[in-house]
Amino acid sequence: MRIALFLAATVVLAHPVAFAEELECADKQAKELNESIGKAYGEYRDEPDKLVEVLKGIVAEATRPQDRYVLLEACSSLVSLLDDLGGVSASAPELDGCPQDHVAMRIAIMQSGDRAYGEDPVLPVLRIGPEYPKDAWDQGLSGWVIVEFTVTKKGIVNAPVVVESSNELFENNALEVIKKFRYQKRKKETPGVRDRLVFDYFDRAYMKKCGFI
């Protein structure tokens, strides 16, 4: 299961990803196009500028509803690659054709890192991936939850609350998981500083819907 976990202290994403139920399953043509992403990484591993051009071509080609998942994968790869090459912004011309909400989510992941509390940083020592809620799994639902919380001086998550979610079926699961996270002990309490963690439950629901698992 690939579930993205990232700290995003100041970023609020109203709709971080397209829901799996809104996507059409990939057909043979789309699957071949998706395979071309992996082939491009293998062929142009040491030529990042060429790799960017190839990924842009895949984005331009992924225009059918059945290609939507391929489009998101190619755009995610572009965001990551551009970040490695020196930085990325949503207005980068290389990202033309990519859904802006998806780009915003991927950039948030790249740029979030661990929130620094001045000279007393909050550093994770234990993060646990959430289990997919059974009710959501049975219905083939994807979604996301934004949880806000503080970290105590002892590195324990305190007072987590759901700020926003796509579906309440995911909320209790996210809250239970975040309580198990642990951070390095810090020098002092900072009760007025709160962090946000986004739990993204997208890929597995899509894979279930389209018969990949």
Residue 205, pLDDT score = 65
Residue 5 pLDDT > 50: no
- For 26-38, the pLDDT digits (tens) are 889 998 998 999 9
Look up residue 23 and give its DSSP letter: S
Look up residue 125 and give its DSSP letter: E
Sorting pLDDT into bands at 50, 70 and 90, what band is 212? low
- For 145-201, the pLDDT digits (tens) are 888 888 888 888 888 999 888 789 889 998 998 899 888 887 777 666 677 676 767
Question: What CATH number belongs to 124-209?
Answer: 3.30.2420.10
Residue 76, pLDDT score = 86
Could you state, in order of their start, the residue ranges of all structural domains in the chain?
19-98, 124-209
- Once rounded to an integer, what is the mean pLDDT over residues 117-131? 66
- The dihedral formed by the CA atoms of 92, 93, 98 and 101, expressed in degrees to the nearest 10: 30
The Cα 57–Cα 71 span in angstroms is 11
Q: Which of 132, 178, 134 is nearest to 156 (CA)?
A: 178
Whole-number CA gyration radius for the chain: 18
Length of the chain: 213
